[in-house]
Amino acid sequence: MAVQLSLGSNLGVRRGNLEAALARLGQLPETTLTRRSRVYETEPYGMTGQPGFLNMAAEIETELQPLELLDAIKTIERRLGRRHTERWGPRIIDIDIVLWDNLVLETDTLTVPHPDFRKRAFVLIPLAEIAPQAIDPITGMTVAQLAAQPDLHGRILRLESGD
């Protein structure tokens, strides 16, 4: 199954954190990293008094079940040094499951599609780069259509090289 992910980091060596997360995602059982976007510099969302983020999107193909993948992602985040503090606070790495083919899922620990992705430039712009025709099963809109909306939140700048 194709799964689109959003990755972000605003502490430590941000680009290195993203690269380490991608490497570990590619090492998961029954999982292949198939696409990755460029890296984007973005404003913090929700809590503004913190360093800027580097964000990107990635696509994987996996045979893992949704909660298995979520557990694996949480393990990757912990091993890279993530400590859960306040909501929208600074973090070494954040990996969110955004879309999973046509799946609509809501559990106590996981909601797919990600409930807030439709208005966040830092998720949609990188995602549109790698999966513009992916469909949001809730709205029926493509990622490209969602990314073209004029009311997306947050300034975003594509980085060509370096951190």
Catalytic residue ranges: 82, 91, 94, 96
CB 128 within 8 A of CB 144: yes
CA atoms within 13 A on the CB side of 134: 29
DSSP characters over 132-144:
TT-B-TTT--BHH
Query: What does the radius of gyration of the chain's CA atoms come to, in whole angstroms?
Result: 15
Tell me how crowded residue 53 is: count the other CB atoms within 10 A of its CB: 23
CA distance to 20, 159, 160, per residue, from 98 (Å): 20, 22, 24
Cα gap 132→125, rounded to integer Å: 9
CA distance to 6, 66, 124, 140, 148, per residue, from 119 (Å): 14, 23, 8, 15, 10
